[in-house]
């Protein structure tokens, strides 16, 4: 899978953990930054990563900031992006199965690496159910 990855300063450490884990699993990663923990504006990094999904250059994106909320706000402004903030695996499962979410936003100050691993595994392996959900998804893009 082609995965775009981005973080701000508060999400840098978790992003690096996720990047290593995804590469080890054989995914192709495009890292949009940040590259350290110096203060950075989340939109400068989250927007291009979300655009990669919206434009079909990536299958999914993982965005990390302090709580996950700011990155989701940025990502959900991009056409064809359906971003979700997840703090536990069931949210990721439902977001994928019912909403065909294609961008996962995580809070680097909210969850640890073990929970991030569980959420990530569910987000990347849960299939979209389609069917009755298709008409609802179609209404998002209008």
Given the residues 17, 27, 98, 133, the one annotated as active site: 98
Q: Is 129 helix (H, G, I), strand (E, B) or coil?
A: coil
- What's the CATH number where 94 sits? 3.40.1400.10
Known catalytic membership, residue 98: yes
Task: Answer whether 119's CB lies under 8 Å from 89's CB.
Answer: yes
Given a cut of 90, whether residue 39 has pLDDT beyond it is yes
| CA 69 to chain CA mean position, Å | 11
What is the residue-wise DSSP string for 74-109?
HHTTSTT--EEE-SSHHHHHHHHHHH---EEEEETT
Q: Supply 5's token pair.
A: 């990855």
Identify the domain containing residue 63 by its residue range: 2-141
| Single pTM value for the model | 0.97
pLDDT above 80: residue 110: yes
**Cα radius of gyration (the chain):** 14
Contacts of 42 (CB under 8 A, 6+ apart): 8, 65, 70, 71, 74
Count the domains in the chain: 1
- Position 36 confidence tier, pLDDT thresholds 50, 70, 90: very high
């Amino acid at each position: 899978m082609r995965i775009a990855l981005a973080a701000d300063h508060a999400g840098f450490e978790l992003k690096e953990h996720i990047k290593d884990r995804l590469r080890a699993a054989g995914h192709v990663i495009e890292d949009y930054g940040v590259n350290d923990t110096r203060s950075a504006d989340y939109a400068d990094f989250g927007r291009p990563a979300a655009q990669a999904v919206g434009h079909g250059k990536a299958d999914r994106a993982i965005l990390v900031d302090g709580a996950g909320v700011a990155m989701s706000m940025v990502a959900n402004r991009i056409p064809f992006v359906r971003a979700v903030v997840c703090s536990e695996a069931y949210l990721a499962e439902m977001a994928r199965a019912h909403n065909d979410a294609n961008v996962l936003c995580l809070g680097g100050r909210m969850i640890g690496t073990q929970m991030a691993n569980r959420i990530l595994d569910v987000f990347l392996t849960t299939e979209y159910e389609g069917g009755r959900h298709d008409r609802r998804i179609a209404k998002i893009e209008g």
